[in-house]
Structure 1
Amino acid sequence: MRFAPRFRPIPFIAALIVAIFGILLGNWQQDRAAYKTELQTQQRERGAAAPIELGPAIAWRDDLAFRRVRLRGEFVAGWPVFLANRPMGSQSGFYLAMPFRIAGSDMHVLVLRGWLPRQAEFGKLPPFVTPAGPLLIEGRVVASSGRVMELGESAPLAPGAQVQNLAPQDLARASGLALQPFLVQQTAPATADDRLQRDWPAPDAGIDKHRGYAFQWYALAALAVLFYVMTGFRRGSGKTD
């Protein structure tokens, strides 16, 4: 007995289509991983650069993300907002967000002041202290506060509200304050008075996830070819005519 190749057009076309799509999608995931690797390198470089001072006229630009900055002005103490479902280690808690008015202007920046633990009593907000008067704070520019899954409906945006997600434009509409379209994570060590923790998590670029997806797509392409080759032989007689 011998096995002889048998060309079957429909399985061949199907295997070819699957293999092509697998390779194309694998290449796309590899490109995403390369892009995010470059982005992560830029973030490290910007984080290591000397801080710049943000004045009222500065506008958002892509190379501002993750830059270390200084802000002079004062917090708008009447507009604290608590971002819920922000754990720190194994403990649940909040990020405290508060507008910061830039000195000599009516322009504000939304500052993530730090993390506070959830209180044992349901619905009770954790205590915190807001320093009064002119301040100089340092932080890192971020495009957003990070999104979490919405668990039910958030409370209307008001001073002291607990919300799942928050964007500067949302707070600008609710408060009437002029706000820059980015946020600043405050990075100066917390004092005993303000009780805030500022151990901000490093941004996850998801590079390993993209590489894993690329491997899966390439494996699918290889399996399609292998399946066609293995099933493309028919059993025949070893005798010759």
Structure 2
Amino acid sequence: MYRFLLTPRWLGLFVLALAAATVMVLLGNWQLDRYHGRTAVNERIDAGLRMDPVPLREALPAPSGGPGTVGAPPTQERTFTRVTVTGRYDTDNVILVRGRTVDSRVGFEVVTPLVLADGTAVLVDRGWIPPAPGGALAQPDVPPAPAGDVTVEGRVHASESGDAKVSRRDGRVESRRVSVPQLAGELPYPVHGGYVLLDEQTPAADPVFRAVSIGHANNWQNLGYVVQWWIFAAMTLVGYGWIARREARRLAGVVDERPRDRAADSDTPAAT
């Protein structure tokens, strides 16, 4: 009854269906890996919020080169670790990161190097502020950083990638990304390979700053894609089986009987 499945046409259809289902399963597995990866990132973000701060050196290695060089980046396990560090802000090299959005408003994140006792520095993202009147790119009025020793508490963040062109405007460094390697080239000391998102500092930060939050990755979307691809794979194989069964019944001369419409029969006039 199903001998026709061994014909070249049906063998080709089977190989095509099997290949399509295999690709869909692999796409589902890829999305499953992304789900696990994003879940791990979210867990590290949450753990960083709950943990007690540790010294910066436990999460971020010190740079060992000369001025303008960058230390090793934080490991995945140490990214988002809550740290504490004491130093002095370098107010001559304030960095404005433009095009940053908070509550649908475009403004700047203010990043300032914190110079440590050993002469190295770590970049500290002090928070978000709105632009000056005149447009989203108008340089803001940045509150001065505290003078003298400052103790910072915050979370370690890896250097950002993407378009990181660095320029100077009105004495301030500007960029669209917190790309530590590019920014370090503008600074007169070695710089740690990650930066710190400020949570608290002593003396206290100016209230005009809005703390920069770390958004959670949408891992549930990836899980939805996993289910979607695997369902598509199953439907492909089931669809092939359904088509094959229908062809087998056609070749066998089997006609599906449909239920009669009694209402239609009752409307048919009786023969006289």
Partner of 2:16: 14
Residue in structure 1 matching 2:118, options 105, 109, 112 = 105
Q: Confirm or deny that 1:171 pairs with 2:183.
A: yes
- Among 119, 140, 147, the alignment partner of 2:155 is 140
Contiguous gaps of at least 5 residues in structure 2: 62-73, 256-272
Distance change >3 Å, CA 203–CA 193, structure 1 → 2: closer
CA contact (8 A) 1:111 1:186 kept: yes
Whole-Å Cα distance in 1 between the matches of residues 58 and 92 of structure 2? 21
Matches within 5 A, 1:16-165: 16-55=18-57, 59=61, 60-102=74-116, 104-122=117-135, 123-128=137-142, 129-145=144-160, 154=165, 156=167, 159-165=171-177
User: Which structure has greater helix proportion?
Assistant: 2
Aligned match for 2:221, one of 198, 209, 216:
209
The change in CA–CA distance for 1:81 and 1:54 in structure 2 (over 3 A counts) is same
Report what 1:223 is aligned to: 235
**TM-score, with normalisation over the residues of structure 2?**
0.74
Q: State the identity %.
A: 24
Q: SS at the partner of 1:188?
A: strand
**Match for 2:22: what amino acid?**
I
Cα distance in 1 between the residues matched to 2:56 and 2:241: 63
Q: Larger relative contact order (C-alpha < 8 A, sep ≥ 6)?
A: 1
What are structure 1's unaligned runs of at least 5 residues? none
Note the C-alpha offset of 1:167.
Answer: 1.4
Identify which of 231, 238, 241 aligns with 2:254: 238
For 2:41 and 2:101, the matched residues in 1 are separated by 26
User: How much has 1:89 moved relative to structure 2?
Assistant: 0.6
2:215 match: secondary structure: coil
Aligned counterparts of 1:80 and 1:194: Cα–Cα separation in 2:
18
